[in-house]
């Protein structure tokens, strides 16, 4: 779903039409001058705003969810939280279509009719996203927010693997090296200060849930991109808000059926919204805003800048968790953050053979 950035022109590309030689001057033995590589366009104010919003949203979601799942907080149904998030996404997508895209509600019906096959195919990523959101509550109830924020970046690793397998894409050498850095950083952040791995039951449960989140996120994002690209041409001129509405609709059906099967007794006794207080409500709202925020980033920025926003959110989560929750972060975690942030930037960057300083810069 990410916009493909325009690659830099290599410095070795010469002009297709070299200047003609005059008869009076001897032919020059030096090679024709090369065209300098175009400098990347400056980041627009709107792109910077959406990227900042994405970084803050990721950080807020992790911290609010961790706070809502603290030991002294009342327990609520995870299925209710996911349903609330999907219903919020549905409502916000509808408002975006009507107020921002300025399209009538009937355009949503026309979008569904334009590609009924895509709606059925979206059942796979919808179920995967539902499982992913449920696992986020499991992971953040067993792991500190900074550790989760770093470890969940493994989704970049699985996204790359599924992109190669399902979309037949190739990985650059810099991307392979970035995945190695990412894995190393996650391993460092999941270790204790004395260097021993966290073997207690809570940490193992949280890390396994986070690993499954990264796996499901990588698969769902690549599969969704494949569905979008295989959609008929008449469905492609709709904005991403229509896809968000479509995906939320399918997710509500699937998650509603799951809640009726697994939590029917609890819902009948206490109600669906039992123990969903202000902290849980804000966590649900923050999670729902993620989809529209990513859509805004894809519209006003690109995948390269999205990698920077992810790196900033990792650092923000660690710093703010230390301030608000007193989380102790050691040297290993700091080294892990450096590895993860560098890997996120390296994976999405181009033109890495350019000089940063010196005569050729």
What is the tens place of the pLDDT at every residue in 257-279? 999 998 999 999 998 888 898 98
The winner for highest mean pLDDT among 7-16, 159-168, 248-257 is 248-257
Find the mean pLDDT for residues 183-206: 73
- Of 105-109, 296-300, 340-344, the range with the lowest mean pLDDT is 296-300
Specify the pLDDT at position 303: 56
Find the mean pLDDT for residues 55-77: 87
Q: Please report which helix (H) or strand (E) contains residue 230, including its range.
A: none
Find the mean pLDDT for residues 286-309: 69
Residues facing residue 193 across a β-bridge: none
What phi, psi does 143 have (nearest 5°)? Answer: -130, 150
Q: What's 297-349 look like in SS3?
A: HHHHCCHHHHHHHHHHHHHHHHHHHHHHHCCCCCHHHHHHHHHHHHHHHHHHC
In contact, 183 and 160? CB cutoff 8 Å: no
Nearest-angstrom CA–CA distance, 288 and 281: 11
End-to-end CA distance of the chain: 33
3-state class (DSSP) for residue 321: helix
Specify the pLDDT at position 80: 93
Nearest-angstrom CA–CA distance, 73 and 60: 18
Specify the pLDDT at position 39: 44
Find the mean pLDDT for residues 203-220: 91
Specify the pLDDT at position 193: 55
Enter the tokens of residue 183: 């894995």
pLDDT band at 230 (very low <50, low <70, confident <90, very high): confident
More confident site: 228 or 112: 112
More confident site: 199 or 291: 291
The chain-wide mean pLDDT, for the chain, equals: 79
Specify the pLDDT at position 342: 87
Asked whether the predicted pLDDT for residue 229 surpasses 90, the reply is no
Q: Which of 149, 209, 170 is nearest to 341 (CA)?
A: 149
Asked whether the predicted pLDDT for residue 2 surpasses 50, the reply is no
Find the mean pLDDT for residues 114-137: 88
Nearest-angstrom CA–CA distance, 246 and 179: 32
Specify the pLDDT at position 21: 46
In contact, 317 and 127? CB cutoff 8 Å: no
Specify the pLDDT at position 16: 41
pLDDT band at 14 (very low <50, low <70, confident <90, very high): very low
Specify the pLDDT at position 43: 58
Find the mean pLDDT for residues 198-212: 83
Phi-psi region of 259 (alpha: psi -120 to 50; beta: other; left: phi over 0): alpha
Strand extents, DSSP E, the chain: none
Enter the tokens of residue 112: 């569904």
Nearest-angstrom CA–CA distance, 66 and 58: 12
Specify the pLDDT at position 330: 81
Find the mean pLDDT for residues 346-352: 73
The predicted-structure confidence for 17-50, as pLDDT tens digits, reads as follows: 444 444 444 554 555 554 444 444 455 677 777 7
Find the mean pLDDT for residues 234-240: 74
Specify the pLDDT at position 82: 94
Share above pLDDT 70 across residues of the chain, in percent, rounded to a whole number:
77
Nearest-angstrom CA–CA distance, 57 and 53: 6
């Amino acid at each position: 779903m990410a916009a493909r950035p325009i690659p830099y022109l290599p410095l070795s590309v010469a002009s297709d039409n070299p200047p003609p030689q005059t008869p009076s001057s001897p032919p020059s033995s030096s090679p024709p001058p090369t065209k300098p590589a175009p400098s990347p366009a400056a980041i627009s104010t709107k792109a910077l705003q959406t990227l900042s919003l994405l970084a803050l949203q990721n950080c807020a979601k992790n911290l609010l969810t961790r706070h809502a799942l603290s030991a002294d907080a009342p327990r609520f149904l995870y299925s209710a939280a996911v349903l609330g998030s999907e219903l919020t996404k549905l409502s916000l997508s509808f408002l975006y279509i009507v107020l921002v895209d300025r399209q009538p509600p009937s355009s949503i019906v026309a979008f569904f009719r334009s590609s009924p096959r895509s709606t059925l195919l979206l059942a796979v990523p919808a179920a995967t996203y539902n499982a992913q959101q449920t696992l986020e509550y499991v992971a953040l109830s067993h792991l500190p927010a900074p550790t989760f924020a770093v470890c969940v970046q493994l989704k970049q690793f699985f996204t790359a693997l599924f992109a190669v397998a399902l979309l037949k894409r190739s990985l650059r050498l810099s991307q392979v090296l970035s995945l190695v850095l990412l894995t190393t950083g996650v391993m460092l952040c999941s270790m204790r200060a004395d260097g021993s791995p966290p073997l207690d039951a809570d940490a193992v449960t949280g890390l396994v849930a986070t690993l499954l989140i990264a796996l499901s996120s990588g698969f769902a994002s690549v599969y969704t991109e494949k569905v979008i690209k295989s959609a008929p041409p008449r469905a492609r001129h709709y904005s991403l808000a229509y896809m968000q509405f479509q995906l939320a609709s399918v997710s509500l059906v699937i998650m509603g059926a799951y809640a009726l099967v697994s939590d029917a007794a609890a819902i009948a006794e206490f109600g669906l919204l039992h123990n969903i207080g202000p902290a849980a409500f804000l966590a649900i709202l923050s999670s729902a805003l993620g989809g529209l925020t990513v859509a805004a980033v894809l519209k006003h920025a690109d995948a390269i800048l999205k990698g920077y926003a992810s790196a900033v959110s990792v650092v923000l989560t660690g710093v703010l968790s230390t301030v608000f929750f007193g989380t102790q972060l050691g040297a290993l975690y700091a080294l892990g953050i450096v590895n993860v942030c560098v890997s996120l930037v390296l994976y999405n960057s181009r033109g890495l053979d350019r000089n940063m300083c010196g005569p050729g810069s």
